[in-house]
Amino acid sequence: MIDVAPLVAGQANCAEVAAEIDAACRASGFFYIRGHGVPDGLQQRLEELSHALFALPPADKARIAMTHGGRAWRGWFPLEGELTSGVPDRKEGFYVGAELPADDPRVRAGVPLHGSNLYPASLPELRTVVLEYLDVMTSLGHALVRGIGLGLGLEGDWFDRHLTADPLILFRIFRYPPETGLPDPRWGVAEHTDYGLLTILAQDSCRGLEVHAPSGWIDAPPLPGTFVCNLGDMLERMTGGRYRSTPHRVRNTTDRDRLSFPFFFDPAWGAEVLPVPLPGEAPAQARARWDGEDVLSFDGTYGEYLLGKVGKVFPDLRASVLDP
């Protein structure tokens, strides 16, 4: 548990907070934060509207399905509509991102995962609340990568200067139905790692998140007033394995729907992902990854890495939207 209030407030001396973040990133790649400054009322309203979204009639949700989002890769998908390692997840979801107008150069150029969001006409407040949440969380993301930079011995603005001046912002709302009592309980999302720099996760009051810590699989239960933060593949690649992109998974072990709200604060689409300068430190010890891939050898832009990943998550959508 790390109190990040000094980072959020922009205090000049954040050495203690940065050291705590560094220790967590080296040990497990997961940590809780408090003192984040995100209003409780905003989170509560987002949760209420998310329940309302998933309770809409199927026809209303179909009108904002991801197939209508085009190259922006936005909208709703049904239960088991997303894959992890080729297996359908037991979750329903809603994808949004930074709201870009049609005349934005990236939209006009057809850059994937850039564009406008889709919202149900019957829930007009959802757009207002989501966009406010994105603004607040983006500010928090900038504060946290400042702490990560300081923890690595870099200047506090290193990430913003090299990768996140215009970060790729993606946000998901997931509904996991109960698995208890079913003859074949399934993973809401199976073992995986995140792709980018930093994930900031809000959970409702239902348990279900598990993290593969050095000691094995452990619960990461919801704690009031906190977020769970975890690192993505690009930060593991940039630090030569010193920081961990840690596998995690979800199974709803309660008797009611579980909602989660992962916010992804990642490098700009065209940012080249290069090693972080860590003078004076020996390379981290190599380790086998859960998927057998060698993230440390990746060479290219974050957009190239991300597109290869999301194409496996939604193969049909990639075939119909991106490949033609």
Which residues, in sequence order, are bridge partners of residue 92?
Answer: 175
Query: Confidence band (pLDDT; 50, 70, 90) for 253?
Result: confident
Please choose, from the candidates 277, 313, 320, the residue with its C-alpha nearest in 3D space to the C-alpha of residue 195: 313
DSSP E strand boundaries for 159-273: 168-176, 189-192, 198-203, 209-213, 216-219, 227-231, 248-250, 258-266
Domain boundaries, the chain: 2-322
Which residues, in sequence order, are bridge partners of residue 200?
Answer: 229, 263
| Tokens standing for residue 4 | 């990040």
Query: Confidence band (pLDDT; 50, 70, 90) for 294?
Result: confident
What's the pLDDT tens digit per position in 202-252? 999 999 999 998 889 999 999 999 999 999 999 999 998 889 899 999 999
pTM over 0.85: yes
Instruction: State yes or no: pLDDT of 186 exceeds 70.
Output: yes
Torsion of CA 102, 103, 109, 114, to 10 degrees: -50
| DSSP H helix total and E strand total for the chain | 10, 14
- How many CA atoms within 13 Å lie on the side-chain side of 280? 3
Instruction: State yes or no: pLDDT of 38 exceeds 90.
Output: yes
Which residues, in sequence order, are bridge partners of residue 319?
Answer: none
In this predicted structure, which of 50-54, 117-121, 124-128, 295-299 has the lowest mean pLDDT?
295-299
Query: Confidence band (pLDDT; 50, 70, 90) for 293?
Result: confident
Q: Does domain 2-322 have CATH number 3.30.70.2660?
A: no
User: What percent of the chain lies above the pLDDT cut of 90?
Assistant: 74
Kindly report the length of the chain. Answer: 324
Question: How far is 311 from 319, CA to CA, in rounded Å?
Answer: 8
What's the pLDDT tens digit per position in 76-98? 999 999 888 888 999 999 999 99
Which residues, in sequence order, are bridge partners of residue 264?
Answer: 170, 199
Q: What is the CA radius of gyration of the chain?
A: 19
Instruction: State yes or no: pLDDT of 281 exceeds 80.
Output: no
For residues 155-164, average pLDDT = 94
